[in-house]
Structure 1
Amino acid sequence: MATEATSNFQNPDLISVPYPSDFHAKITALAAHDGLHFWRFLIVGSIAGMVEHMAMFSIDLIKTRMQALSWIGITCSKGRRVTAVNLLDTGLKGTIPKEVGNLTSLVFLNISNNSLQGHMPAEMRLLHQLQYMSLQFNKLSGEIPSSLSRCWKLRQLSLNGNKFNGSIPGKIGELPKTVFNISSLVSFDILDNEIAGSLPADLCYLLPMLERIGIGQNQFTGEIPPSPPRCASLQFISLTANKFTGIIPSLRQLVIGSNRLHGVLPNSVRNLSASLELLDTTGCHINGTIPREIGNLSNLVALGLRDNDLTGSILETIGKL
């Protein structure tokens, strides 16, 4: 391969080929990369400048020898294994390459706020050490792969603002029910997609460590699962703009706006946790009067009741809040 880079260079394949000392400067000038592969190299410097123009970012770092244990956006262990990829808002385009499955020591993956398209590759199931994954605010589509449940250590999963559809993988309830097999999950966000189905009634049993769940602006139906003692860790839930029915569980923050709950706001609102800080029932077609018991929510900081069919006067008990 010639050592001079050109502006129309396609598919740079950097396998066992010598490169000039100004390698990174030349790579940065490339205008249209279809793929970039680093194999068996002693790499020094920053990749950030070239990421902006890449159509597909593919690194096999399992076989890569790095002099520096950290690039901008890439963190490695002392054993020279990639443990973190943080390419948030770096202009990435194209698809997520299947080679991401080669990063078997990866703990942290954040490629949010880019223009990535296509499906989540099934090879992500090989990331058994992964604890944090954020793919939010891209243009990803298709179903969430059920094989994602093999990421046994995953604690935070954020897929907001994409175009995922289907149900939640068959073995995750109907979010593939397999998602609910990730018992280590603490935070689960899939806001603003096109996912349908229902939440499993035993959600808190399946995900006992769950603290946060955001599934607003999707197409979920059915009842909101109850919150038994198993849900002791749950602090935040956002169900906005779905088609849920049923009773309201107890939490610290409850956002259920733009659903089709109808009916009255029951006196049992007093049974909501005394630690509740946010209650938003905006646009739920709730009628009747505001129950006096809402004044018992002594820690409430924000209350959203607009765009309902409530009648009567504002109660004195609200003055306790």
Structure 2
Amino acid sequence: MSSLEFLYLDHNSLTGAFPLVIFNLSSLKSIDITGNYLIAGNNLSGTLPVDLCSHCPNLQRLYISRNKFSGKLPSQFNNCRELSVLSLSYNMFDGSIPKGFVSLKKLESLYLGGNNLIGNIPPIVSNLSMLQGFYAERNNIKGSMPSDLWRLQNLKELDIHYNDLTGTIPPNIFNITSLQSLNLLGNSLSGNLSLDTRIPCPNLGGLVLGDNNISGRIPSYLSNCSNLVAVDLSRNLLSGPIPRSLGNLKYLEIIDLGDNQLTEESGH
């Protein structure tokens, strides 16, 4: 099948090791083997070759989520210059996020959630200028968030919930005007949320910072995020009153402020 460009085997009940020889088809543009788990115990498995892109220079989309692939993530992406979607989530990958991702200049969506990844988020993630979605939830990622995430000016969704991130949330992340959803639930992030004097984020619809160690007052400037639909600041160390200005958020459907140290506004 030397002319094969699209291979779709997703959402079946395929089992066994995925034949790596498929990656020798230089004409391939898209592979989708997502979710071969419709019968309990049935999953595709195996490891991905280190030189995944050596023979697939035209690959644009690779979907292998929700299987049982294991081992380290491929470290060499030098030849995957056309890759726009890389979906590796909910497998059994371990090790750290490879620095080789820096070569993926056209990457728009990176799905790494639900694996056993460790280490830090490498600074190179901030060099993926076309990135619109970064998902690394439910891993064992530690360390602080890269301070230069603000460089991702096309970023729409950032989801790193249920990891072990520490330190403060870089305030300049809220300068990403394209940002629509930020989910950092269930980490060990700290810092005084009220010290950040503004959050422009005109397109922000979801802000989920629950189950961390964030302190300070609930900032009144949240009312500037006029498109907010859901806010979760629960299970933190927030204090003081609930800002009246939150009442101006006309699209707000969900707000969770439980398990903090909030007080009644003085004089009421």
TM-score normalised by the shorter chain: which range applies? 0.7 to 0.9
Cα 1:246–1:126 change in 2 (3 A) is farther
Cα 1:51–1:278 change in 2 (3 A) is closer
SS in 2 for 1:223: coil
Equivalent position amino acid for 1:234 in 2: L
- 2-side partners of 1:203 and 1:46: how far apart? 34
- 2-side partners of 1:60 and 1:99: how far apart? 13
- The correspondence for 1:134, drawn from 82, 87, 108, is 87
| RMSD of aligned residue pairs (Cα, Å) | 2.9
Q: Name structure 1 gaps, 5 residues minimum.
A: 1-37, 65-79, 169-175, 317-321
Larger Rg: 1
Partner of 1:179: 125
Equivalent position amino acid for 1:275 in 2: N
Equivalent position amino acid for 2:145 in 1: L
- 2-side partners of 1:302 and 1:46: how far apart? 38
Cα 1:224–1:246 change in 2 (3 A) is farther
**Deviation larger for 117-126 or 158-167:** 117-126
Partner of 1:53: 15
Partner of 2:178: 233
Partner of 1:107: 60
Partner of 1:164: 117
Offset of 1:107 from its aligned partner? 0.6
Equivalent position amino acid for 1:238 in 2: N
Cα 1:82–1:295 change in 2 (3 A) is same
Equivalent position amino acid for 2:144 in 1: S
Cα 1:191–1:61 change in 2 (3 A) is closer
- Structure with the bigger RCO (C-alpha within 8 Å, sep 6+) is 2
SS in 2 for 1:117: strand
CA contact (8 A) 1:60 1:99 kept: no
Partner of 1:71: none
Cα 1:199–1:115 change in 2 (3 A) is same
Cα 1:298–1:123 change in 2 (3 A) is same
Equivalent position amino acid for 1:82 in 2: L
2:188 paired with 1:243: yes
SS in 1 for 2:166: strand
- 1-side partners of 2:19 and 2:261: how far apart? 52
Q: TM-score, structure 2 length as denominator?
A: 0.82
2:264 paired with 1:302: no
2:100 paired with 1:147: yes
Q: Name structure 2 gaps, 5 residues minimum.
A: 37-42
- 1-side partners of 2:106 and 2:50: how far apart? 20
Cα 1:156–1:282 change in 2 (3 A) is same
Partner of 1:212: 157
Partner of 1:14: none
- The correspondence for 1:202, drawn from 148, 160, 163, is 148
Equivalent position amino acid for 1:194 in 2: N
Offset of 1:231 from its aligned partner? 1.0
- The correspondence for 1:281, drawn from 209, 215, 233, is 233
Partner of 1:20: none
